[in-house]
Amino acid sequence: MKYLPYVLKHLRRNWIRTGSTVMAMAVCIFLFCTLQTIIAAVNYGLKSASASRLVTRHSVSLVYNMPLAYKERIAQIPGVKRVAISNWFGGVMGLPPDFTKFFANFAVEPEDYLAIYPEYVLSDAEKQAFFADRRGAIIGPDLAERFGWSVGSTVQLESTIPPYRIGRPFEFVISGIYEVDEVRYPGTDGRLFFFHHKYLEESTRNRAGAGTFSIEVNDPDQAAAVGKAIDAYFENSDVRTKTETEAAFRAGFVSLAGNLALLLNGIGIAVTFTILLVTANTMSMAVRERRTEIAVLKTLGFGSGLVMALILAEALVLGVLGGGLGLILGKAMIGVLPSLPLIGDVARAFPNLGLSPLIASLGFGIAVFLGLAAGLLPALQAYRARITDTLRTV
Amino acid sequence: MSGNGKAPMVAVEGVKKVYRRDAEEVKVLDGLSLEVPEGDFVALMGPSGSGKTTLLNLIAGIDRPTAGKVIVAGTDVAQLGESELARWRSRNVGFIFQFYNLIPVLTAEENVALPLLLTNLSKKERRERALTALKVVGLAERSQHYPRQLSGGQEQRVAIARAIVADPKVLVADEPTGDLDSKSAEEILALMETLNRDFGKTIVMVTHDPRAAQRAHTQHHLEKGVLSL
């Protein structure tokens, strides 16, 4: 510790250089944390995907709906146990719509959907209340907590999707709040809102159609074959289908954003490598400028190992400062991400979006590694520098 | 043995120093021997390239002889390993450079206290010793000044304070007045005389300046790596 003031004084020697290096490293760690958090959120969502469930959608895009009649035909295909219609409603509260209060909401067929998705745990009384009330809705515990809703609360939502807009908001009554069992069903999103598909159909005068079909198969090992059979059945129809496993569907949904994660991950790696080079260059310059000083330290009796350690300590401090700042920036960014325009919609779709201790530790570790790696070569040069050679060339 | 029967503070015995430049060998010191008694003040003079600084570096333990022995304060420095030699230097030798070589980001007091970081002294003790050393060189009131805020002569005095702060037995000075005006040079030489006379420091000084050399008790001349009185 007695050497720390000496190390810090050197970092303050050229504070613009030190500051810009720390900032560069902070940006790198900020990028890493933000990207990894998004990727972790995506993976968290995929965790809840069941191997026995398929999702069928319009072969062209999720934007287009399919005929409701497809449900009966899919149900007749061998291997299919149960089918439920599910539509992304895109409803928003407030007039004009307040997107800061956005949450995911779906129109579903209550009985079939809850049978296919046992992870939304409801008491029998709540289930019956939901089934019986056409305007009824069930919500997740996180959503209830966020808005202070309870059973009996009324909610008004207006869809952002043109066919679902009826000139007034849809009105719902909360019938139940489902429970999330993280042990049995990890990755269950506690922020969802489900209501009757019939309500949507009636209110839109049957314009709604089916956004997706959630399908439970008898044998998970046959899921791929059943999916192929479904798509083959509609091969010659006007509206062809695309059926995939639930995990693939969710992963594909994420890739709708242009495979953002892969792209940004690539950028992140490039930035990290660049920062390593920049920091290494900065450290080399700092050490080169101090060749005489290093020779003087050695003349005074500082061992080569100690001189090397002092330079590595400087690099370490740069890493710690950059990592710390990067984490603060990353945490702040992840916090405001859901309220940002455009990207906020995507961010809000992910449950559990937050900087995890694991990612924070990894980010900090990378910063420390970057600092040490950047300082290693200059430190080795200082270690090897011979006093007489250095003093002679000054 | 020196004349008074005591072992000399510095004993250089048949030292050779050869540098290699590519395939060529450059003989800098050629079987040189020298004894400096404890408490002596020795000046090494000679033309450029005569081997003065090389000899000084060998005595200070920052270079090793190709052959021969360099015994300083009873230790054959050539026998010490790299880290042992560094420790030995910190305890036994104070080095005064021509260009002062103070650390620019440290205050005068911090510069002087630098060698004490290698000791087990507390921060308070290190500070007290640094201030004492600065008092000896007459710069206690400038302890919080940075090198850029000091004149050349003052910087060299701070460098001398740094050289004596760990109370070494031997002071080696490589042209300590070479970068100073005559008034400052005079002050530095007077200070070195004081350190020799009042504090009993053994001093070996390399200089080109005959007036500086006259302040020493003994003058040695080097010519092509060989000593001549």
Closest chain A residue to B88, measured at CA: A301
- What range defines the domain where residue B191 resides? 37-64+75-228
Give the nearest partner residue to A299 out of B87, B95, B106, using CB atoms.
Answer: B95
Complete DSSP assignment for A326-375: HHHHHHHHHHHGGGSTTHHHHHHTSTT-S--HHHHHHHHHHHHHHHHHHH
What integer is the mean pLDDT of B216-229? 84
In a domain, B28, yes or no: no
A314 lies within 8 A of chain B by CB: no
Report the residue count for chain B: 229
pLDDT at A49: 64
| Closest CA–CA distance from residue B5 to any residue of chain A (Å) | 31
Which residues of chain A have a CB within 8 Å of the CB of B103? 293, 296
pLDDT at B17: 92
Look at chain B and report how many structural domains it folds into.
Answer: 1
Domain ranges in chain A are 4-45+259-393, 65-238
The model's pLDDT over B160-176, given as tens digits with 9 standing for 90+, comes to 999 999 999 999 999 99
pLDDT at A258: 45
pLDDT at A261: 64
| Closest CA–CA distance from residue A20 to any residue of chain B (Å) | 19
Between chains, do B87 and A302 touch, taking CB under 8 Å as contact? Answer: no
pLDDT at A290: 86
Confidence of residue B4 (pLDDT cuts 50, 70, 90): low
Confidence of residue B5 (pLDDT cuts 50, 70, 90): low
Whether B56 has a pLDDT exceeding 90, the answer reads yes
Beta bridge partners of B170: B93, B202
pLDDT at B2: 46
| Closest CA–CA distance from residue B162 to any residue of chain A (Å) | 9
Here the tokens at position B218 are 């003994």
**Using CA atoms, how far apart are residues A259 and A255, in angstroms rounded to an integer?**
4
A205 lies within 8 A of chain B by CB: no
The percentage of residues in chain B with a pLDDT greater than 70, rounded to a whole number, is: 97
| Closest CA–CA distance from residue A97 to any residue of chain B (Å) | 59
pLDDT at A335: 83
Contact A363, A327 (CB under 8 A): yes
What are the backbone angles phi and psi of residue A312, rounded to the nearest 5°?
Answer: -65, -35
**Range of lowest pLDDT (A166-170, A181-185, B127-131, B221-225):** A181-185
pLDDT at A394: 42
Closest chain A residue to B126, measured at CA: A2
The model's pLDDT over B88-125, given as tens digits with 9 standing for 90+, comes to 999 999 999 988 999 999 999 999 999 999 999 999 99
Contact A240, A234 (CB under 8 A): yes
In a domain, B201, yes or no: yes
In a domain, B224, yes or no: yes
In a domain, B22, yes or no: no
**Range of lowest pLDDT (A35-49, B141-155, B185-199):** A35-49
Whether B126 has a pLDDT exceeding 80, the answer reads yes
Closest CA to A249 of A36, A75, A42, A71: A42
**Using CA atoms, how far apart are residues B151 and B102, in angstroms rounded to an integer?**
12
In a domain, B26, yes or no: no
In a domain, B27, yes or no: no
Which residues of chain A have a CB within 8 Å of the CB of B117? 2-3, 6
Closest chain A residue to B102, measured at CA: A293
A9 lies within 8 A of chain B by CB: yes
Residue with tokens 């003052």: B154
Buried b (16+ CB within 10 A) or exposed e, A269-278: eebbeebbeb
**Using CA atoms, how far apart are residues A290 and A385, in angstroms rounded to an integer?**
12
CB pairs under 8 A between A and B: 62
**How far are the Cα atoms of A36, A219, A235, A293 from residue A223, in angstroms, in the given order?**
31, 7, 18, 70
Between chains, do A2 and B117 touch, taking CB under 8 Å as contact? Answer: yes
Which residues of chain A have a CB within 8 Å of the CB of B104? 13
Q: Which residues contact A288 (CB under 8 A, 6 or more apart)?
A: A378
**Using CA atoms, how far apart are residues A154 and A169, in angstroms rounded to an integer?**
12
Which CATH number belongs to the domain containing residue B115 in this structure?
A: 3.40.50.300
| Closest CA–CA distance from residue A372 to any residue of chain B (Å) | 23
Whether B203 has a pLDDT exceeding 90, the answer reads yes
Which residues of chain B have a CB within 8 Å of the CB of A1? none
> How confident is the prediction for chain B on average, in pLDDT?
91
Closest CA to A102 of A139, A157, A148: A157
Q: What is the pLDDT along chain A (394 residues), one digit of tens a residue?
A: 788 988 898 888 888 888 988 998 898 898 888 888 877 777 666 666 667 899 999 999 888 999 999 999 999 999 999 999 999 999 999 878 787 888 999 999 999 999 999 999 999 999 999 999 999 999 999 999 999 999 999 999 999 898 899 889 999 999 999 998 878 887 788 889 999 999 999 999 888 899 999 999 998 888 889 999 999 999 999 999 999 888 777 666 555 544 666 776 787 788 888 888 888 888 888 888 888 999 999 999 999 999 999 999 999 999 999 999 999 998 898 888 777 766 666 666 665 678 889 999 999 999 999 889 889 999 999 999 888 887 765 4
